[in-house]
Structure 1
Amino acid sequence: MLHRVVITGIGAFTPIGNDIPTFWQQVVKGQSAFAGITRFDASLFRTRFAAEIAGFDASQYLSRTDVKRSDRFTQFALIAADQAIKDSGFDLAKMDPFEVGVIWGSGQGGTETLEEQTREYALGDGQPRFSPFLVPKVLVNLASGLISIRHGFMGINYTAVSACASSNSALMDAFNYIRLGKAKIIVSGGSDAAITPSSFGGYCSMKAMSTRNDSPQTASRPFDVERDGFVMGEGAGALILEEYEHAVQRGATIYGEMTGAAMTGDAYHITATHPDGIGATKAMQLALAEARINIEDLDYLNAHATSTPVGDLSEMNAVAKLTGSKKTKLHISATKSITGHLMGAAGAIEAIICLLAMRDNVIPPTINTTVRDPAIPESLHLVFKEAVSTPVKTVMSNTFGFGGHNGIVVFRKV
């Protein structure tokens, strides 16, 4: 027997808000936080702005010990997880700790720590004075490890890595473990802190990011005919996935039920999505089939749409193939235009947006788009400029990652 899986807690630590109420308010208002980079001198880079978490001081949230032994991406994870666990209100003392696990997602892990330590060695006297915390801080799995250590969760524990699809991969794995009866509760989500010289410089060299340095606030413009790349962000999103009967018995608040998930591979290119969206279409079909939702009954799609010329179009072509000639009520928006692209945390943050859209019956907007790309199928209903109030009972969130990873999750209102 497969168990039902629901979401009973959420947490967000992002450039537009360090808690769920602030974050959600900014999403609905369509208010971004793109600005010039402050974390390093980016004056010689092609792109000189990002969506930073301004003024972040880990010591305001974590103990001195936790700060010392964790990279920025792990600190984001710990903070978001703390929020979600508190929001869920489950009591570990009343549970078997082996029934509570952590499955996290991250695309890059401790890039900042690796850069700092390598720079110190290269500019030093040649003596290998590396920190004993170097390896633990760099390892991608330490986010899930430290969440479990912090809270005493002794169940399933690991980190999924599939580039910008990482947190949807983590959510899918958590969903399946609970469905199979291998856990009662799993803390899941994702975090990344990729705004570092080497990471940022690499994306600049790929010409993947917008170069609208004179107008950062309007730089991320999904679906626009003049879109020129994404805006890098950082942060974390956390969700508590729980077995339905367990949640009901303890009187938990339920944000929604996760009903389907799927992954496919494009087998096409190391960074580009398939231009015809073949893998993306198949993943969406599989996720909807598992959720037992017809495309005609899907209310909202949070698109991966990062504001790149090729990526946005291939995704919309994939969605058009999914809908075909069927008459749908599907609203589509791209909230990365507001949050920035949080890389391995994107899926978690956008899953939270989907859950809150259902809670409040509102479709968040895509901002900054001035002229819709005429190559995007006209049949698709894209939401621009302002949020739309409408019943939202079923939602889907898309994520795609370098390497051809397509990760899709589906939720419905309980």
Structure 2
Amino acid sequence: MFKWVAVAVQPEKEVALMKKPLTKHRRVVVTGVGVVTSIGQDADTFYNNLLNGVSGINQVMGVLDKTRCGVIIGSALGGMKVFNDGVEALRVSYKKMNPFCVPFATTNVGSAILAMDLDLMLCGGSDAAIIPIGLGGFVACRTLSHRNDDPTKASRPWDSDRDGFVLGEGAGILLLEELEHAKRRGAQIYAEFLGGSCTCDAYHMTEPHPDGMGISLCIEQALAQTGVFKEDINYINAHATSTQTGDLREFQALVRCFGGNPELRVNSTKSMIGHLLGAAGAVEAVATVKAIQTGWIHPNINLENPDKAVDKHVLVGAKKERMDIKVALSNSFGFGGHNSSILFAPYK
């Protein structure tokens, strides 16, 4: 019997130097963005609130006893619903059902039809885990903040007083299309999508590898895949969830890859909206694109006493900053040691 295993390979120094020549493939641009979050139901409102340091984090009552769970973000998607479609389907003869009911019910069908008909791609994610089983599971993992008396201060990436992440929910979508197609139809171009990479630490169910090499490898592969030099990266929207080990592992990886770059600025959108799980990467990608479009990067709120293991001069402070972004990196990580890094740049 075969046994499948995942193996994480420590990146060699040559990885960062193995730059692919600038691709001759068709360029991809971002021509649309949309979000649903606790601080805005459209991209402009969302990003303006980020720039102003507005926190969308609050207590959610009636889901679990607040004395037994961490602080959680207010739901941006509405109340819970229970569907009995599965039970009802059992009462209906399959002969009376449309053969397209399954293909049209799958979550990827919307983007698939759009791509086939219009040569466009919808890229994003959504999640809404603020339900009893979702909260209960994270409480059992002991990963949530317990700052119940001051919820807007609960999510504090890189701060020495952080005590866990804040559970959030929402959605984010980017519309991607080939550059010439976008130009032919006169579409507004927000930014250019350069590419990215993903890796797996193959180390632990919830913790990143202690030396952060899986993260470093992911970033270096993204640079090599896109032909971007590390000195061109001057803005990073970090994954940084406000956990003790996760924040430091990522920061160590960023220093390993970009240390010495005096222009580098780093922030975490989660300081204001919490961790949106499956929607986190998409919503933060929207924030990254909006930073490129507006020329402003949002603050890290609650960074009152930076951890001694981080360089506070690299991190954005309590106020928004004007910035001419050359190339932006957006990181998103998940349980099981899954890492992803994507790159955006101003369209020129």
Residue by residue over 1:269-316, the C-alpha shift from the partner in whole angstroms, topping out at 9 and shown as x without a partner, is 011111211010111111122222222221210000000000000000
- 1:388 has 2:282 as partner: no
- 1:410 has 2:343 as partner: yes
CA RMSD of aligned residues (A): 2.5
- 1:2 has 2:25 as partner: yes
TM-score by length of 2: 0.83
User: Secondary structure at 2:68's aligned position in 1?
Assistant: coil
Q: State how far apart, in whole Å, the 2-side matches of 1:370 and 1:402 are.
A: 28
Alignment equivalent of 1:337, drawn from 266, 271, 282: 271
How far off its partner does 1:50 sit?
Answer: 2.2
* 1:305 paired residue number: 240
Please give the residue correspondences for 1:87-236 in structure 2 after superposition, counting only pairs within 5 Å: 113=82, 130-132=87-89, 142-145=106-109, 147-148=110-111, 153=114, 155=116, 184-236=119-171
Q: Residues 70 and 166 of structure 2 are in contact (CA less than 8 Å); yes or no, is this contact kept in structure 1?
A: no
Relative distance call for 1:231 and 1:292 in structure 2 (3 A) is same
How far off its partner does 1:29 sit?
Answer: 0.6
Alignment equivalent of 1:287, drawn from 207, 222, 225: 222
Write 1 or 2 for the structure with the bigger share of helix: 1
- 1:269 has 2:204 as partner: yes
Residue by residue over 1:291-346, the C-alpha shift from the partner in whole angstroms, topping out at 9 and shown as x without a partner, is 2222222121000000000000000000011024x334110001100111111111
Relative distance call for 1:380 and 1:155 in structure 2 (3 A) is farther
User: Secondary structure at 2:167's aligned position in 1?
Assistant: coil
Q: State how far apart, in whole Å, the 1-side matches of 2:37 and 2:312 are.
A: 33
> For residue 142 of structure 1, what is the amino acid of its counterpart?
T
How far off its partner does 1:388 sit?
Answer: 0.4
- 1:21 has 2:44 as partner: yes
Relative distance call for 1:288 and 1:43 in structure 2 (3 A) is same
How far off its partner does 1:251 sit?
Answer: 1.2
Q: Residues 296 and 328 of structure 1 are in contact (CA less than 8 Å); yes or no, is this contact kept in structure 2?
A: no
How far off its partner does 1:40 sit?
Answer: 2.2
Residue by residue over 1:137-166, the C-alpha shift from the partner in whole angstroms, topping out at 9 and shown as x without a partner, is xx9x83323x359xx53639xxxxxxxxxx
Q: State how far apart, in whole Å, the 2-side matches of 1:390 and 1:129 are.
A: 51
Q: State how far apart, in whole Å, the 2-side matches of 1:335 and 1:350 are.
A: 7
Number of corresponding residues: 312
> For residue 285 of structure 2, what is the amino acid of its counterpart?
A
How far off its partner does 1:33 sit?
Answer: 1.4
* 1:346 paired residue number: 280
Q: Residues 320 and 380 of structure 1 are in contact (CA less than 8 Å); yes or no, is this contact kept in structure 2?
A: no
- 1:45 has 2:73 as partner: no
Q: Residues 71 and 145 of structure 2 are in contact (CA less than 8 Å); yes or no, is this contact kept in structure 1?
A: no
> For residue 341 of structure 2, what is the amino acid of its counterpart?
I
Relative distance call for 1:267 and 1:148 in structure 2 (3 A) is closer
How far off its partner does 1:45 sit?
Answer: 2.6
Q: State how far apart, in whole Å, the 2-side matches of 1:203 and 1:227 are.
A: 16
TM-score by length of 1: 0.71
* 1:363 paired residue number: 297
Relative distance call for 1:364 and 1:329 in structure 2 (3 A) is same
Q: State how far apart, in whole Å, the 1-side matches of 2:204 and 2:315 are.
A: 28
* 1:79 paired residue number: none
Unmatched runs of 5 consecutive residues or more in structure 2: 1-23, 91-102
Q: Residues 51 and 231 of structure 1 are in contact (CA less than 8 Å); yes or no, is this contact kept in structure 2?
A: no
Q: State how far apart, in whole Å, the 2-side matches of 1:223 and 1:266 are.
A: 22
- 1:322 has 2:257 as partner: yes
* 1:91 paired residue number: none
How far off its partner does 1:44 sit?
Answer: 4.7
Residue by residue over 1:86-109, the C-alpha shift from the partner in whole angstroms, topping out at 9 and shown as x without a partner, is xxxxxxxxxxxxxxxxxxxxxxxx
Q: State how far apart, in whole Å, the 2-side matches of 1:270 and 1:291 are.
A: 30
How far off its partner does 1:184 sit?
Answer: 2.6
User: Secondary structure at 2:89's aligned position in 1?
Assistant: coil
Relative distance call for 1:245 and 1:129 in structure 2 (3 A) is closer
Q: State how far apart, in whole Å, the 1-side matches of 2:330 and 2:195 are.
A: 11
* 2:331 paired residue number: 398
Relative distance call for 1:317 and 1:9 in structure 2 (3 A) is same
User: Secondary structure at 2:107's aligned position in 1?
Assistant: helix
Q: State how far apart, in whole Å, the 1-side matches of 2:146 and 2:66 are.
A: 12
Relative distance call for 1:39 and 1:131 in structure 2 (3 A) is farther
Q: Residues 51 and 339 of structure 1 are in contact (CA less than 8 Å); yes or no, is this contact kept in structure 2?
A: no
How far off its partner does 1:192 sit?
Answer: 0.3
* 1:34 paired residue number: 57
